[in-house]
Amino acid sequence: MTWRIVTYRLAGEESRHRVAAWRELRRVGAVALQSATWAVPTGDRFDEGLEKTRILVERAHGQVLVFDVDPASGSVGELERLYTDEREAEWVEFLAECDKALAELRSEFAKEKFTLAELDEEEHNVDRLRRWYRDLRAKDIFGAPSAADAEVQLKACAELLEDFAERVYQARRRP
């Protein structure tokens, strides 16, 4: 894996341009090294995000500098560790959200609240988790430790949602 360091400078006090650049770099999984300085792996997905960031900064009349990291340097291993640590933190947050979704579904089962409105709400929540999982999976190029647990938890959410949908269907069929 090769890496690039990107740093940018934006004029003015308006934060929306800084936030836009920050959000784009975070979206692709770049690692913040310090203010306006990020490490980005190379590859189509990452290169695309870096290009979008460059465009955002230049539209705001800013300056972008990109440097290749020497693959022979000891920095590559440290960048991989930092990158994986960030992915791990995201997986831990994802797992917490899966736990919340499971608790919510179990609560609805306990209350026997088998309504279409509740099913819609729970489906939206699990769909959000599925999208989040896909995004995290695409960024997790080194395999953070909690990724496997996240897959299991998402599957548990989907299965419990299916059980809930079946109960809603049965409740609607009763006279």
Q: What is the pLDDT of residues 99-143, one digit of tens each?
A: 999 999 999 999 999 999 999 999 999 999 999 999 999 999 999
Closest CA to 4 of 36, 45, 34, 47: 47
pLDDT band for 59, please (50, 70, 90 cuts): very high
Residues 90 and 62 in one domain: no
pLDDT band at 1 (very low <50, low <70, confident <90, very high): confident
SS3 category, 120: helix
Residue 11: its pLDDT value, please?
A: 82
Question: C-alpha angle with apex 43: 41 to 45, nearest 5 degrees?
Answer: 95
How many domains does the structure of the chain reveal?
2
Specify whether 88 is located in the same domain as 168: yes
Domain of residue 63: give its range: 3-69
The number of angstroms, rounded, from the C-alpha of 89 to the middle of its chain's C-alpha atoms is: 10
Does the pLDDT at position 39 exceed 80?
yes
Token pair recorded at residue 131? 């999208």
Asked whether residue 77 is domain-assigned, the answer is: no
- Is residue 17 domain-resident? yes
- Residue 91 and residue 166 in one domain: yes
- How many angstroms separate the CA atoms of 86 and 164, rounded? 34
Same domain, 168 and 89: yes
Q: Are residues 28 and 95 in the same domain?
A: no
pTM of the full predicted structure? 0.89
For residue 137, the one-letter residue type is: R
Which of these three, 40, 69, 98, is where a domain ends?
69
Of the candidates 39, 69, 99, which is a domain's last residue? 69
Q: Indicate if 27 and 94 belong to the same structural domain.
A: no
Confidence tier at 46 by pLDDT (50, 70, 90):
very high
Residue 137 has a CB neighbour count (10 Å cut-off) of: 14
Task: Give φ, ψ of 42 to 5 degrees.
Answer: -90, 160
CATH at residue 29? 3.30.70.240
The answer to whether residues 88 and 157 belong to one domain is yes
